[in-house]
Structure 1
Amino acid sequence: MDFQGNLDHVNPESIEQAKAAGARYRCGPELDITCGDHHHEGDTHLHAWQVLAQLLRHPSCTDIIVDVGLPVMHKDVVHNCKIIFLNGKVLLIRPKMILADDGSAGYCETRWFTPWAKVRQVEEYRLPPCITEVKGQTTVPIGDALLVTCDTCVGFEICEELYNPESPHVPQYLDGAEIISNCLGAYEEFRRPETAVNLVTSATMKSGGCYLYANQRGCDGSLGYYAGEAYIALNGTIVGRAAPYSLQEVEVVVAKVDLEIVRRHKALIRSRCTHAAKTEAYPRVKTDFWLCSDADEGGLSIPPFPTPLAIRQPTPEEQVLGGPACWLWDFLRRSGRRGLLLPLEGDIDSSLTAAIVVHMCHLVVKAVTTGDEKVLSDIRRIIGQEDYVPNEIRDLCRRLVRTLCLHGGEASTCHVALAEALAKEMGSRHTTADLSGAVRAMQSALETASQVKPDAASLQDLLSRLKMSFAFLYARVSTDEKEVKGEEEEEAKQESRDDQLLLLTSANCDLLASGDWVKFGHISGDVNLLGRFPEEVVRGALARASESFALPSLGVVLREHEMRTKKNKKIHEEGEGEEEDEEGGPDGALSLEEVALCRQLQYGEGCGPYSMFGKLCWLWGGRCGVQEIARKVKTFFRNYSNLQHKVWTATPTCYVPGTGPLQDARPIVSSPKWTWQFNAIDLVIRNKGKKEETK
């Protein structure tokens, strides 16, 4: 909802860059004038139109067709719209026709908007007074139409429409559109980063044409990360793209295209021509403007076919390191905090979080080195030093990051040493603290008040909560006032409320699903960067970070984790065969790998207890008996019921579609008995036993 910031990004930044590169059409991302969950507020609509009025008046917006995104209320219905304007006049309002409402991916557009349902139809829209004041324009067409210039025809899609089986670009290309402009606000999807490339190349290969794909970049204030994908596709190849995992707020991708190449490609696809000859016509909005140069009139400078770009998509490990690092940078610079505080446990989760922080610092140094003044201004403000220039990663980490290793007196010496070694390699300011005295004090107070001595497990949970309480207190008071330079004393006092650190916590999604964490305990912080990634990918990302970031301690942490995992697995296997108690017993115990698989079946495959049992019988039939599989399934769902109230209080985590729903909307409290479902499993086992006896 930063209207001024959004205005600056649209103009002068993106439009002036586009014009300087010779572009005659500017396509921006979805809702680039507004964003956030405020579209039911009248102020949002008012301010969006006011921003558009400033764009219409600005001299930079002349002699270039511009499309921007904002909400539009038509006949008391709110639509997500793309507005196309030229030289102070609004040419067309194109509403979104297919909304993104995939709850599992975090999209809930019907919460605010209604899709435009009138295919190939336009109506008259009455413009607000602030737009009319610009050039006296009172109305504009709104609906599903094409834009016709003096030399070509442009069609439009908005985000989800590209991903739908009946994408509008197909009939638009058939009806003569040569360019499709698509503004998007799509999160980076885990394990499927190539989706956008495949869609735009396929669209232009089958139909022939040029496709402009402009996505949002960074963190827009929500949990998701927008990868900043911007592609230009031509006849089945990518001829322009934006840089992946960049901190640059505005990047303009330009490609010079000869439309004769498009026309020839279209004409040579004979089956396409057969369908195009009988397609239903779209309404057309005409404008007296040339998108092309005079090359088609005999000019000497006709661009050849642009060089196709080889697109290398990031691996899952690169996604874990790159996306959260960029997202964290946006979160930090907008939060008003003075740096980061990371508790290190000597485990793989907190160590990978440290690697992501180092990667973020690398991106900051790289951006400043390439001349990004906005990043330089932000890092100076965060650190509080007006003349600081980050040119070395460890130095930036020292100024920006504090690390803590908290233990209760009986901590593994190895873990403390690993945390200290990693902090030294990062360059962070590190502190080790013993909280055993606090635990003893709390224990003594409890025994005095209740005459009950707590058990070891309760004391361990208490230590976990004390760690996070200590970390929050440390984050609030640890800013070094002596390092704040270039500010007046009074101004520094006024900003003292922001002189605290952003507290990072670390827990992968398999750990969260297992329930082996403490409510309001060691993963309760401001931000958790790993809560959407499985342990398998965390291990892979840690190995990659150890090689890429010159952090050899990460390799040691990984080896320690693997040794500990093998030891626990051996204990788990030796414990099998014991008698089952009423809650599942040792035979029903789940390893972290088994929890990960059950979680994938529950969220990824939509399995309840009965169907999960059937799939696991197929997957585990060679190593487990059906009784054992049933016990494991029952244990998983009993734990799930007991876990839900904890998940709702877990630290907000960087969200990536493909790793489960944004929020689990299932009941926060449910019966752990699962009587009907478990009885159905038992019936299957009894029937199987009877069949075997008959044989």
Structure 2
Amino acid sequence: MPQYVTLATCSLNQWALDFEGNRDRILESILIAKERGAKLRVGPELEITGYGCLDHFLENDIYLQSWEMYETILKDERTYDIILDIGMPIIHKNRRYNCRILSYNGTILLIRPKIFLANDGNYREMRYFTPWLKTQYIEQFKLPNLIYKLNGQEFVKFGDGVIETLDTVIGFETCEEMFTPQSPHISLSLDGIEIITNSSGSHHELRKLNTRISLIVEATRKCGGIYLYSNQRGCDGDRLYYDGSSMIIVNGQILAQSSQFSLNDIEVLTATIDLDDVRSYKSLISHGLQSKFSPIYEREFLNIEISPEGNKFDLSLVPTSIKEVKYHLPEEEIALGPACWLWDYLRRCKGNGFFLPLSGGIDSCATAMIIHTMCKLVIKEVQNGNLQVIKDIKQVLKIEKDDEIPKNSEEFANLIFHTCYMGTVNSSKETRDRSLRLSEKIGSYHINLNMDIVVESIIKLFEITTGKRPIYKIFGGCQIENLALQNIQARLRMVLSYLFAQLLPWCRNKQNLGGLLVLGSANVDEQLRGYLTKYDCSSADINPIGGISKNDLIKFIKWSREEYNFSILDEFINATPTAELEPITENYLQSDEIDMGFTYNELSIMGKLRKIDKCGPYSMFIKLTHIWKDYKSVEEIADKVNSFFYYYSINRHKQTVSTPSYHAEQYSPDDNRFDLRPFLINPMFPVGRGKINKFLIDYRNK
């Protein structure tokens, strides 16, 4: 006879330190799960505090407020008759732990601390928390007084245990533990645990989701069982966007998958599963033999059945069928991830819109198209009756009535998105025209200006003060004059951006809106090479493309051209990338790739070798001799490597003030969170360069 259980997992858009908002989203997800008949509900990692609290986790207030919020959930009788798996930080014996609290009907059953902490890349969990390395070990935890006053419960089991009901056993794995070589799900499965939950705070990177899904699928395909994966969603206060994609997997097959990118703050997945299918799948001789040597978990018994009415067969229950995995193209990820991140940022910082210097190049074009995607997503949710989005759009626009809400994305963009072409004598008619026509397509409030008078006034001031006037290289000036003249234009654009961002709403008689958030648009390859001016218009409030490569941005614009039928985008794709900071003559047009000494494709490859493969100069040189062997000589490769590390080093200081950027790529040079290399480095790398030179000498003498 089948033994059906209905289980729930969810994606929640939590916000760091938004205790009451986080609590309310947790409660709503529990009620939705109950309404759908679920007997177990799993939520994201650290869902009460929000995952991205960072050094706030060192503050004692966090732990007190977490218990206060948890107590309001525990005493709410609407949350009864369902097992709750809720994540929050806990202090035990003066040590801080990242924990999961299991409860039923107002009683805490077990506190399960995280065993393996995420401590690389964007994560610093060891800075705040202690790992619980005593696997399969349980001790007593003294509950705070507010819990004792609520239900008379004084102690609870704390450690690596499991929960056994009358009809199944539930075990636990938390985020990073799934990615480790000795993942707990292996020993849990061998000890007869049939349902494993995983609360996660996994962020979005381009092309990363398939790795996450393959790990979960393979875990249950190898071990059998039910896996409930719950992941945080949204921007909870930093550069990361947590991309949902919560899942329910059984025996290597996906039954449910939540959206990867969505403006819905709450998404609950449920599935009905036959426990007999799990038991049949796990009844392999090899499993039985290996379980002889596997650890044994201490069980906390819960005297309930989570299958309906015991073992009675219920025709109204229909087992959930297998679903096909949903993957987005990388181009779609670029459109949707930063768009959702920008909306979260705008609504949560109480902002009223964005300002973007629209240069006519592909980077600012990509940023504008991401805003266009955001506007479309918001209006679509309004049309779908999403009450949270309707509330947020009213807050952003400072309106009260429903009939004041824009009817389409272009109307919405005209109210919140302001673009500006900041031209000089060095700017071309083509880039000015492209900017204007793109702004007309997306609906932004656009202005054209010529800033030559401002540039000239600065140069004149310098000339009067020093008696010398710098001139461009093509007119006979030296390199330092040439750079100084370019940097004046770039830095003045930053100053003008903030001036216009602050006053444009006032100019439009919308004083109640306040200022605008200034958007940067430097891509990850330019930041890696340092091909930007410190405190130029790459300096902004946030940058949605700062973690995305030029190659991916071009693919995104090609996708956008088809998705939105914008023929104007062809001109951006085919244009030569140029900063337009030097005079254009009959024989000269400034080119980004020529100025940098690298193609964007070369920078992308070298950036991945530097960060992901952790290569220094010599090891990168050796790898590139194989990668580029068909179209570059070893001498050319050596020059490229030496030049890359030189410019990377002398420009490293620029990363200390880089605009906070959406994290999308594993070779991001952002030293604020992701890349902790120093900014004072010997740019010559004498030992590495010496090894490369010796290799060249030996190679020539062969």
TM-score strictly above 0.5? yes
1:431 to 2:439 alignment: no
| CA–CA distance in structure 1, aligned partners of residues 613 and 424 of structure 2 | 41
1:616 maps to what in 2? 624
Instruction: Choose the corresponding residue for 1:475, options 477, 482, 501.
Output: 501
2:19–2:66 CA contact under 8 A, matched in 1: yes
1:238 to 2:254 alignment: yes
1:369 maps to what in 2? 383
Where in structure 1 are there 5+ consecutive unaligned residues? Answer: 485-491, 576-585
1:519 maps to what in 2? 534
1:180-329 correspondence runs (5 A): 180-267=196-283, 269-294=284-309, 296-304=311-319, 306-329=320-343
2:97–2:131 CA contact under 8 A, matched in 1: yes
1:459 maps to what in 2? 485
Instruction: Choose the corresponding residue for 2:47, options 32, 37, 56.
Output: 32
2:517–2:541 CA contact under 8 A, matched in 1: yes
Q: How many percent of aligned residue pairs carry the same amino acid? A: 35
C-alpha spacing 1:214/1:61, structure 2 compared with 1 (3 Å): same
1:514–1:592 CA contact under 8 A, matched in 2: no
> For residue 559 of structure 1, what is the amino acid of its counterpart?
N
C-alpha spacing 1:531/1:24, structure 2 compared with 1 (3 Å): same
SS at match of 2:610: helix
| CA–CA distance in structure 2, aligned partners of residues 39 and 564 of structure 1 | 43
2:694 maps to what in 1? 683
SS at match of 1:405: strand
1:190–1:316 CA contact under 8 A, matched in 2: yes
Alpha-carbon deviation of 1:481?
8.0
Task: Map Cα deviations across residues 316-357 of structure 1 (whole Å, 9 max, x no partner).
Answer: 211111111111110111112111111111111100111110
Count of residue correspondences: 659
C-alpha spacing 1:449/1:564, structure 2 compared with 1 (3 Å): closer
SS at match of 1:26: strand
1:331 maps to what in 2? 345
C-alpha spacing 1:657/1:271, structure 2 compared with 1 (3 Å): farther
1:407 to 2:423 alignment: yes
| CA–CA distance in structure 2, aligned partners of residues 176 and 8 of structure 1 | 35
C-alpha spacing 1:300/1:678, structure 2 compared with 1 (3 Å): closer
C-alpha spacing 1:243/1:451, structure 2 compared with 1 (3 Å): same
| CA–CA distance in structure 1, aligned partners of residues 224 and 435 of structure 2 | 56
Alpha-carbon deviation of 1:588?
10
> For residue 271 of structure 1, what is the amino acid of its counterpart?
S
Residue range with higher mean Cα deviation, 412-421 or 626-635 = 626-635
2:64 maps to what in 1? 46
1:445 to 2:453 alignment: no
| CA–CA distance in structure 2, aligned partners of residues 92 and 295 of structure 1 | 24
Alpha-carbon deviation of 1:301?
4.0
| CA–CA distance in structure 1, aligned partners of residues 507 and 471 of structure 2 | 42
1:580 maps to what in 2? none
> For residue 334 of structure 1, what is the amino acid of its counterpart?
R
1:417 maps to what in 2? 433
Task: Map Cα deviations across residues 174-208 of structure 1 (whole Å, 9 max, x no partner).
Answer: 11111111100011232222122212221222222
1:88 to 2:99 alignment: no
Where in structure 2 are there 5+ consecutive unaligned residues? Answer: 1-16, 473-481
Instruction: Choose the corresponding residue for 2:515, options 500, 512, 515.
Output: 500
C-alpha spacing 1:454/1:518, structure 2 compared with 1 (3 Å): same
1:545 to 2:560 alignment: yes
1:600 to 2:615 alignment: no
SS at match of 1:80: strand
Alpha-carbon deviation of 1:642?
1.1
2:23–2:48 CA contact under 8 A, matched in 1: yes
C-alpha spacing 1:206/1:523, structure 2 compared with 1 (3 Å): same
C-alpha spacing 1:70/1:588, structure 2 compared with 1 (3 Å): closer
SS at match of 2:407: coil
1:171 to 2:187 alignment: yes
| CA–CA distance in structure 1, aligned partners of residues 661 and 295 of structure 2 | 47
> For residue 453 of structure 1, what is the amino acid of its counterpart?
R
1:188–1:657 CA contact under 8 A, matched in 2: no
2:362–2:577 CA contact under 8 A, matched in 1: no
SS at match of 2:311: helix
Alpha-carbon deviation of 1:657?
5.1
SS at match of 1:614: helix
| CA–CA distance in structure 2, aligned partners of residues 44 and 206 of structure 1 | 39
C-alpha spacing 1:382/1:588, structure 2 compared with 1 (3 Å): closer
Task: Map Cα deviations across residues 626-649 of structure 1 (whole Å, 9 max, x no partner).
Answer: 333222221111111211011221
1:2-13 correspondence runs (5 A): 2-11=18-27, 13=28
Alpha-carbon deviation of 1:274?
2.5
> For residue 29 of structure 2, what is the amino acid of its counterpart?
S
> For residue 443 of structure 1, what is the amino acid of its counterpart?
I
2:12 maps to what in 1? none
Alpha-carbon deviation of 1:261?
1.7
| CA–CA distance in structure 2, aligned partners of residues 278 and 510 of structure 1 | 50
1:138 maps to what in 2? 154
1:645 to 2:661 alignment: no
CA RMSD of aligned residues (A): 2.2
1:487 maps to what in 2? none
Alpha-carbon deviation of 1:659?
3.6
Alpha-carbon deviation of 1:618?
2.2
| CA–CA distance in structure 2, aligned partners of residues 652 and 213 of structure 1 | 29
| CA–CA distance in structure 2, aligned partners of residues 564 and 132 of structure 1 | 65
Alpha-carbon deviation of 1:482?
6.8
| CA–CA distance in structure 1, aligned partners of residues 98 and 520 of structure 2 | 36
| CA–CA distance in structure 2, aligned partners of residues 672 and 659 of structure 1 | 19
1:97 to 2:115 alignment: yes
> For residue 329 of structure 2, what is the amino acid of its counterpart?
T
Task: Map Cα deviations across residues 211-255 of structure 1 (whole Å, 9 max, x no partner).
Answer: 100000000101011001110011111111112210001111111
SS at match of 1:505: coil
1:71 to 2:89 alignment: yes
2:662 maps to what in 1? 654
SS at match of 1:262: helix
Alpha-carbon deviation of 1:278?
4.8
Residue range with higher mean Cα deviation, 74-83 or 454-463 = 454-463
